Structure 1
Amino acid sequence: MAILSEITFYPIKSCAGIALREAVLTSSGLMSEQVYDREWMVVDSAGRFLTQREYPRMALIVPKIKATTLELRAPGMLRLEIELGLPHPQSAPMLEVQLWDEPVRAYDCDEVTAAWFSNAIGVPCRLVRFHPDVVRATSTQWTGGIAASTLFSDGYPILVAGAASLDDVNDRLRAIGRDALPMNRFRPNLVIGGIGAFEEDYAEFLQFGNTTLKPVKPCARCPIPSVDQATGVPGPDPLDVMHGYRAKPELDGAICFGMNAIVTQGGDERIVVGQEVGFELAF
């Protein structure tokens, strides 16, 4: 029996996540307290997005949702609070930012916020917020023509991983004398227990109440799994161990862990850790 064993929500792209007991599964990603997953993003002075790939200390920027603000903490920094209410569209400054090769219109947060992030990361940068009028469509190449959208995630609104898949990787790491890794190295939104290792790769769907989640594309991994999310320090890269059996020919040999997924039916579904998940393999 498949079980939802973990929910993790990332208000700011590539910063620390928030472990949740429950969330709302929407067609654009997870939502908690009216805040969406990857609703904010850090960009450099040219508007290009920043991630832990180049700036692993971003892992140490820890968000917390409060009643009316998003509280942010980082080592050696005073805490920062950002208003959760959307700015007035006629007065809020706007920026066109770059996410991969895609320009995206976004709200520009204020200079105090920019200075805080610049000091925390160690490079001039700004925080931007996804504009609610923007529809950022996912590629239909992997969705079978099904339209879907996301905010500032790399490409798809939900990342799913199986608990047994991490167990498999960790068994192989321990076999060569390496330490086991926590799931947060791979930064999934939803972790599914009670299924076999890497069965999420072959799932036809995952059913959460009235909402159907369809895995559509293997998640090609970058160097971020080498970053200790508790310290922001890169260590041994697990991808070297995964190379022999997790390279996907359909992605030109990219090493994959987890599946990008979209909502194909329903949405706005309250999901809770421990609930049973409908799970069906595609063969």
Structure 2
Amino acid sequence: MEITISSVGDLQIAARCSGDASKPGLILLHGWPQSSHAFAGILDELGQDHFALAFDLPGIGRSQGKPPSAEKTVIADIVLSAAERLDAKGIVIAGYDVGGMVAYAAARDHAARLSGAIVMNTVLPGVPPWEETLANPKIFHFALHALAELPELLVAGRQRAYFDFFFDMLAGNKRALSDEARDEYARAYERPEALSAGFDWYRAMAEDARHNARKKRIALPMLYARGDADGAKPERYVGPLRELGAEAVEGITIAGGEFVAEESPDRLIAAIRDFRRRLTSA
């Protein structure tokens, strides 16, 4: 595994890489409040049969520069461009949490650049049960993080303690997120601009919702996967995706928790490989 930097306009986009460009491309995208470190434990294994690229989302960790927008379709274009500059081909994009929102935006708006998409452990802005999720008191942070300036004021210098609250609340097995990993995530948002980049994802979700709520045909093969920590079934999310135009989407449960790459790494690897096999045999 090595770390490489791609220039996309004025942005520097960092990726942990395994495998080489002769193999099918695989983009892996973390969520909030994490970084590409989330995939460190599975990247070398996936690099056996993929050109695996785990990106720090724009502005986070080793990725530098402020993207023109935090809308997920814009971020999808940026990470796809970064992968293409590294000569990735036949790309499957996979992400969870905010990374899952970006993976869906890639499938919806940039499908010609992809072979498939895997969306994991996220509710998609504008796609039911979006409004129900926003009304859930446990998801209070969506509203808090969308406010201007206040989240930075509350969290700056307290990243580790603040992030730990969410890791411990959401994880099926909080011990799967080691102290080393948690320190790494706090460092990834240590810079003021990195902290703001993470909150900007939430500030853009109202526009993401308006965009995604418009029905659009999506023929790209797509997998919607959920861990089983919260008991929610993938069918609850797959049905609305089909109603909004996804023609080749299916759902699976990956036994494990919210932070699937760390809580259930072997099952995630198996799910990615199974999805790829079915793409190539279709």
Task: Using structure 2 for the length normalisation, give the TM-score.
Answer: 0.27
Task: Using structure 1 for the length normalisation, give the TM-score.
Answer: 0.27
When Rg is computed on C-alpha atoms for both structures, the one with the higher figure is: 1
Larger helix percent = 2
